[in-house]
């Protein structure tokens, strides 16, 4: 085996020594940083628990303050809603607060009052049950509050159960209590019934006089502000468009005077309103006036014809004729269109003094004075206004003391109505006819017995609601039935006045 040279052995030995030195140095450098900082780490660890505890203690009142600020802002929001009358939004916000703060009985009581004002009896019952189960009751008089809700909704199951469980009352006792409280709750009943019946009667009166809607197209009041000088006014005017929005005549020459045949031809081609404006542009005011008056008889509810005729008379400074035509418009509107009537009356007053101005200025609510005024000035009175001005002309059904409807009537609704009356179930019988009549307002068979029951029961509030429902329906009864309803409303109103 060959031996290494001496020089190689020395190099190998040197390398081994260097490696050992490097290993020892590495071990020394690792031990030095771990041992040196040990005292420092013990010093730093000591204050750490106190610092974290301080932060927790500071965070707790901050969170409490934030929660308090949030609660205050919610109650402020409720106050804002209530100040503007937004009860629905106020109840929703306050309900969230009450659900999350069960111990705040004061706000729960406040929510109870809001629900009562909203007539939301179901939610009212929920909050009341919660308050009555609370030991302190939160200032709630459970008996009074239970019956306050039952007076609004006598058949509310939750309130009745609460009255039985909490007050120990039987069904008969609850009914007796409600009957005893009913007069106290309706002390102002006659006055309120009088107001409601008066409103319903006025709506019924308007429906009788104007059973169809007015034609509001083509109304333009700017012509009253045009120059009254005929020459200046006619230079500014130009033939208007036809109903097809195309001009009848095109050219630069002014329209000449039309004879009778040409006027008839023009009136047959275009609308009467456009024809009248064309005639006025040609200086034929007399012909335009005759055309307007003739078409007003045929179509009295086209308000633009009234306005055009009044504008023509205004520019001709004919105060007396203007006043009579305005009276005719008042007869047609019969209380409707107050803004239009007052503006046209204001224009008429600029023409000079006339006794009709003061009469028409105070006619709102006194429409019965229109028919005598029309007779005084010899004006045509619409046939629909006759029953209003002359109540004796209204047809009345013969009232029977015992039987409202003959027993052999083949209508199933009327047959059931008679059966209910035989068993003394008056409320159920009237409700049945009400539902049947509102479902089919054009069916005239149910009105006579129903109106008879309203008069026998003196059910003024109920009759007012029935009138509103009938007038709001898509179809309405014929004019004779409307007159009978109007006559009954007048009779019930007279009773209410005597009672008040």
DSSP assignments along 203-225, one per residue: HHHHHHH--S--B-TT---GGGG
Q: In this predicted structure, what is the pLDDT of residue 374? A: 83
3-state helix, strand, coil in the chain (%, to 5): 70, 0, 30
Q: In this predicted structure, what is the pLDDT of residue 104? A: 87
- Please give the model's pTM, rounded to 2 decimal places: 0.45
Distance, CA of 395 to chain centre: 35
From first to last of its 500 residues, the chain has per-residue pLDDT tens of: 456 667 777 878 787 788 888 777 777 766 554 444 444 443 344 444 444 444 445 444 444 544 554 555 788 778 877 765 778 888 998 999 999 988 888 898 899 999 988 888 889 999 988 888 876 655 568 888 898 888 888 878 888 888 888 888 888 888 888 888 765 444 455 666 677 787 787 777 777 777 777 777 777 777 787 554 443 444 334 444 444 445 555 555 555 666 666 666 666 677 888 888 888 888 888 888 988 988 888 788 888 899 999 999 999 999 999 999 999 888 888 877 777 888 899 999 999 999 999 999 988 878 778 878 888 888 766 555 554 544 444 444 434 344 455 545 578 888 888 888 888 888 899 999 999 998 888 888 889 899 989 988 888 888 988 998 888 888 888 888 888 888 888 888 776 554 54
Three-state DSSP class for residue 456: helix
Q: Does residue 139 contact residue 110 with C-beta atoms inside 8 Å?
A: no
Q: In this predicted structure, what is the pLDDT of residue 404? A: 53
Rg of the chain over Cα atoms, rounded to whole angstroms, equals 44
Q: In this predicted structure, what is the pLDDT of residue 114? A: 92
Q: In this predicted structure, what is the pLDDT of residue 239? A: 41
Structure tokens at 248: 């009848």
Q: Cα(111)–Cα(92) distance, rounded to whole angstroms?
A: 9
Q: Cα(97)–Cα(124) distance, rounded to whole angstroms?
A: 16
C-alpha pair distances (Å), 438 with each of 163, 205, 465, 476, 490: 36, 19, 11, 9, 22
C-alpha pair distances (Å), 289 with each of 142, 250, 276, 343, 417: 74, 25, 8, 21, 57
Structure tokens at 159: 């309130």
**DSSP character string of 39-56:** HHHHHHHTTHHHHHHHHH
Tracing tokens 């009778």 back to the chain, one arrives at 260
Q: Does residue 388 contact residue 371 with C-beta atoms inside 8 Å?
A: yes
Angle between the 447-457 and 479-499 helix axes, to the nearest 10 degrees?
A: 0
Q: Which fold has domain 63-185?
A: 1.25.40
What separation, in Å, do the N-terminal and C-terminal C-alpha atoms of the chain show?
Answer: 145
Q: In this predicted structure, what is the pLDDT of residue 103? A: 84
């Amino acid at each position: 085996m060959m031996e290494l040279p001496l020089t190689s052995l020395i190099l190998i030995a040197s390398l081994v020594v260097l490696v050992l030195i490097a290993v020892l140095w590495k071990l020394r450098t690792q031990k030095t940083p771990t041992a040196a900082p040990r005292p420092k780490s013990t010093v730093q660890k000591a204050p750490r628990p106190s610092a974290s505890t301080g932060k927790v203690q500071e965070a707790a009142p901050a969170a409490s303050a934030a929660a308090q600020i949030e609660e205050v802002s919610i109650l402020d929001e409720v106050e804002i809603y209530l100040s503007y009358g937004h009860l629905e939004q106020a109840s929703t916000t306050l309900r969230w607060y009450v659900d999350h703060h069960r111990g705040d009985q004061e706000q729960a009581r406040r929510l109870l009052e809001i629900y009562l004002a909203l007539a939301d009896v179901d939610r009212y019952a929920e909050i009341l049950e919660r308050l009555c189960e609370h030991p302190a009751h939160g200032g709630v008089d459970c008996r009074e509050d239970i019956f306050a809700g039952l007076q609004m909704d006598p058949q509310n199951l939750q309130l009745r159960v609460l009255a039985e469980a909490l007050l120990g009352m039987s069904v008969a006792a609850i009914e007796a209590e409600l009957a005893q409280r009913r007069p106290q709750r309706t002390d102002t009943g006659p006055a309120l019934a009088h107001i409601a019946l008066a409103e319903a009667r006025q709506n019924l009166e308007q429906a009788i006089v104007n059973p169809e809607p007015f034609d509001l197209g083509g109304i333009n009041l700017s012509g009253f502000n045009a120059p009254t000088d005929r020459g200046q006014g006619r230079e500014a005017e130009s033939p208007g468009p036809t109903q097809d929005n195309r001009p009848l005549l095109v050219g630069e020459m002014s329209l000449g005077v039309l004879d009778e045949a040409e006027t008839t031809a023009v009136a047959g081609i275009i609308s009467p309103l456009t024809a009248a404006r064309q005639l006025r542009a040609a200086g034929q005011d007399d012909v335009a006036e005759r055309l307007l008056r003739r078409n007003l008889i045929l179509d009295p509810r086209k308000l633009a014809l009234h306005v055009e005729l009044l504008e023509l008379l205004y520019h001709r400074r004919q105060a007396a004729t203007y006043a009579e035509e305005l009276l005719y418009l008042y007869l047609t509107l019969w209380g409707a269109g107050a803004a239009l009537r007052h503006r046209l009356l204001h224009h008429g007053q600029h023409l000079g003094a006339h006794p009709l101005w003061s009469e028409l200025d105070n006619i709102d609510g006194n429409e019965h004075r229109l028919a005598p005024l029309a007779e005084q000035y010899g004006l045509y009175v619409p046939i629909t206004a006759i029953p209003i001005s002359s109540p004796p002309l209204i047809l009345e059904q013969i009232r029977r003391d015992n039987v409202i409807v003959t027993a052999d009537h083949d209508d199933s609704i009327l047959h059931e109505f008679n059966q209910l009356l035989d068993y003394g179930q008056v409320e159920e019988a009237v409700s049945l006819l009400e539902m049947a009549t509102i479902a089919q307002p054009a069916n005239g068979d149910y009105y006579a017995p129903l109106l008879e029951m309203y008069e026998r029961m003196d059910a003024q509030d109920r009759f007012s609601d029935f009138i509103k429902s009938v007038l709001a329906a898509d179809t309405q009864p014929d004019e004779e039935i409307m007159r009978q309803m109007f006559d009954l409303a007048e009779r019930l109103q007279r009773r209410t006045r005597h009672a008040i």
